[in-house]
Amino acid sequence: MRGTDSENDRHSTAANDPLPRLRRRFFGSLVLLGLLFGSFLGHVFRPGPAELLRIEPVASGLQLWFNREPELYSQDVEGAVGMLFQSKGSADAGRIEVGSTSAGWRVQTTEKGLLLHFVATRPLVAAWSGEKIDGEWRLLVEVKPR
C-alpha cells in the first residue's frame, strides 16, 4: 500500500499552493504603491522656501519683508550679529546708524539660505520681532551697542 496517494497520483494535500505567494506579492505591491504615491503628494504640496521680498533700513535697524515666515537662526559672535534665514533672495548690503556710531550690514546667499550679519567697531546686540502684515511677513531687527 502506498499511503495517501490515489490512483491518479494526486496527494491529499496540495504541495505548492501559489495563492499565499500571490497574496504576499499583491499586498507588497500595494504597500510600495502607497509609499510612492504618498511621497509624490508630499513633494507636490510641500511649500517652497520663504522668499525675501525687500529690505528697508529704519532708525534702529532693518525691516526685512518675506512672503511667509522663515525659519531663523541667530548668533552673537564677539559683538557681531549673524542671522541665518531658511529662505531665498538676492544679496544686498548697506550701513545704518546705531546710536552714535554706524554699523554695516550685509545679506549673503549661502547653501543653507540667506545670511544677514551686522558689524560695527563697537560690540552689538540684536533683538527682533516678526508679524504678519497684509499677507507678508515683516521681521524687524533692532541693533544697539552693547
Average pLDDT of each block of 10 consecutive residues along the chain (146 residues)? 55 66 91 94 85 90 91 80 90 88 90 90 88 91 88
Same-domain pairing of 63 and 108? yes
Give residue 53's pLDDT. 92
What is the C-alpha to C-alpha distance for residues 32 and 82, in angstroms, rounded to an integer?
A: 44
User: What pLDDT score was predicted for residue 13?
Assistant: 59
Confidence (pLDDT) at 38: 94
Query: What's the rounded Cα separation, in Å, for the pair 84 and 136?
Result: 19
Among 138, 128, 127, smallest CA distance to 68 is for 138
34 sits in which H/E element: helix 19-45
Tell me the C-alpha distance between 15 and 10, whole Å: 10
Assigned domain for 30 exists: yes
pLDDT of residue 73: 87
The residue type of 57 is P
pLDDT of the residue at 94:
92
Specify whether 68 is located in the same domain as 37. no
* Domain range enclosing 22: 17-46
Residue 61 lies in a domain: yes
